[in-house]
Amino acid sequence: MAAPDRDGEHRRTFPAFPPRDSGADGIADTWWGNAWVTALEEGALDAARLARGRAYAQRGHVDAITVTPGLVLAYVRGSRPRPYRVQVRLRTFSDTEWDRFLDAAADRPGHIAALLDKVMPQSLADCGVPLLPGPRDLAPRCSCPDSGHPCKHAAALCYATARLLDADPFVLLLLRGRGEREVVDDLSRRSAARAARDTRPGPLPGVRATEVL
């Protein structure tokens, strides 16, 4: 995948994916990408629309994708000459949820290293905040006349987004409200503070803590 355009810390634009071999086993390759696909498919009301959306995504019908906090946006080419404007919304984290997630991520040095390697540790999905969307958490909207939930164009964008998540889990964190540099800097501060607490010497044996201070 080509590198995204860095419009800003809270806005990233990714070039369109090229057509994918129709014989490929699946859309996503990672556990977090597959969790996104599961949320889409379990919340859909029509399997036929999903199948057409999947085919659109595999054929490269989804144009450049822009990701901002709480929103994925792209134009999707259907059967008509003019593409449709499609967006998918996802709730952003509250400050309390971010604190909980970042504390869990900073708790183990391996978490930060994994994220920098574009890998989302699965243990972070169980840290007490809804990192991955559930079946009813994705809110699609399309300029086409189809009222399906989702329509095939919105389904195509969701499938293409799963491929973005595969390549870079920070896309998911941006959707939840914070950019990559913001997250990495916060994790570094929390990790340093935790290390300082762990190496702080305790009171001498037989001496009360108040006497040391």
Q: Are strands 84-89 and 139-142 parallel, antiparallel or unpaired?
A: antiparallel
The residue with greater pLDDT, 6 or 119, is: 119
d(CA 159, CA 57): 6
Dig out the tokens for 45 from the structure.
Answer: 């009301």
Q: What angle do CA 97, 39, 171 make, to 5 degrees?
A: 55
d(CA 205, CA 190): 30
What does the pLDDT look like over 14-57, one tens digit per residue? Answer: 999 999 876 566 789 999 999 999 999 999 989 999 999 999 99
d(CA 169, CA 137): 18
Confirm if 62 and 74 have CB atoms less than 8 A apart: yes
Residue 208 banded pLDDT, cuts 50, 70, 90: low
pLDDT at 209 (0 to 100):
47
Q: Could you tell me where the beta strands, DSSP code E, fall in 9-116?
A: 11-14, 65-68, 71-76, 84-89
Residue boundaries of the structural domains of the chain = 7-198
Mean per-residue pLDDT, 135-142 = 94
pLDDT at 155 (0 to 100):
97
Measure CA 186 to chain center: 18
